[in-house]
Amino acid sequence: MADAFAACGMPLKAHQMREAETFLAMGMPPELLAEAARRAVDAGAARWNYAKGILNKWQRQGLTTLAAVHADDLAFRQRQGRRAPPVWKTPLTESQQAPIYVGRIYSAEELAAEDPWKMS
């Protein structure tokens, strides 16, 4: 197991190894520990605490196999796909757009025909 973390660029210290062994003692398979290490490195957070957070989350969710973790990932991506886009990413309709000049929205033809800076 220590080799899996070291191979990901995350060598464990003695106390971290003991914490990892507690996950194994609770029935978590070694491939889940290796997957957590890989995800921590992929996220740019090659630290034991980050991987431990992933493992704690999986434990709370009752995910005890790599297949269950992958199924949870797929379900998460599907839930994300059904979400409405954030308001700031939704294009505004013409009536929602701020008018070019206060009180009225001018068409491109009207703007081309008039000099907006000309004082009357």
Domain boundaries, the chain: 2-84
Residue 76, pLDDT above cutoff 90: no
Q: Cα separation of 62 and 66, whole Å?
A: 12
CB 29 within 8 A of CB 65: yes
Query: Where would I find the H helices in the chain?
Result: 2-7, 14-25, 30-42, 48-61, 66-82, 108-113
CATH entry 1.10.10.630 includes domain 2-84: yes
Tens digit of each residue's pLDDT (9 = 90 or more) over 15-51: 999 999 999 999 999 999 999 999 999 999 999 999 9
The whole-number pLDDT of residue 96 equals: 57
Tens digit of each residue's pLDDT (9 = 90 or more) over 79-107: 877 665 555 555 656 655 555 555 566 67
Q: Percentage of the chain with pLDDT > 70?
A: 70
